[in-house]
């Protein structure tokens, strides 16, 4: 494959997961890896920003309610940096969000999707592949 050419192989893509809830972060990491992507995780906004700046992921899964910089603050910091402004973000939240707030979040330039917890694995996986232009891995021996 020529250098710089886009890849539809999930193994070529890195997903950064920023969520302070250990069980949710681990579930998202499991789902991301199950789909064949690589994953990096952070448990608060400050660590998330550092990890994203360091690893330059292809996608960020970002919780809104975080210690040490909330999700909105992380969004703004990423938008202000030329290196991270174009990284697509999937916002996840366990907090009830009214329709107008959800729409406001979706209007952010780098927010590609907004998912409420509990996360539905199938919908989450479809969103990952759609945003990153990848194809789901075929499970061996299983029908599609």
Q: For 82-114, write each residue's pLDDT tens digit.
A: 999 999 999 998 876 777 777 888 888 899 999
Q: How far does CA 93 lie from the centroid of its chain?
A: 12
What pLDDT sits at residue 141?
Answer: 39
**Non-local CB neighbours of 73 within 8 Å, separated by 6+ positions:** 45
Query: What does the longest C-alpha to C-alpha distance in the chain come to?
Result: 46
Positions in the chain whose pLDDT score sits under 50: 1-4, 140-144
What tokens appear for 23 in the block? 């069980």
For the domain covering 11-132, report its CATH number: 3.40.50.2300
Would you kindly state where each structural domain of the chain is located, as residue ranges?
A: 11-132
What pLDDT sits at residue 63?
Answer: 95
Question: Does the pTM exceed 0.85?
Answer: yes
Whose tokens are 């494959």? That residue is: 1
């Amino acid at each position: 494959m020529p250098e710089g050419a886009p890849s539809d192989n999930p193994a070529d893509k890195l997903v950064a997961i920023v969520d302070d809830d250990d069980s949710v972060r681990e579930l998202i990491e499991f789902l991301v890896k199950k789909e064949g992507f690589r994953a990096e995780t952070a448990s608060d906004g400050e660590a998330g920003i550092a990890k994203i700046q360091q690893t330059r992921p292809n996608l960020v899964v970002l919780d809104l309610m975080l210690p040490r910089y909330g999700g909105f603050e992380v969004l703004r910091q990423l938008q202000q940096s030329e290196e991270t402004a174009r990284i697509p973000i999937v916002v996840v939240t366990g907090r009830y969000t009214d329709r107008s707030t959800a729409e406001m979040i979706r209007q952010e330039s780098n927010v590609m999707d907004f998912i409420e917890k509990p996360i539905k694995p199938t919908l989450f996986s479809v969103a990952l592949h759609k945003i990153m232009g990848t194809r789901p891995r075929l499970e061996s021996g299983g029908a599609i």
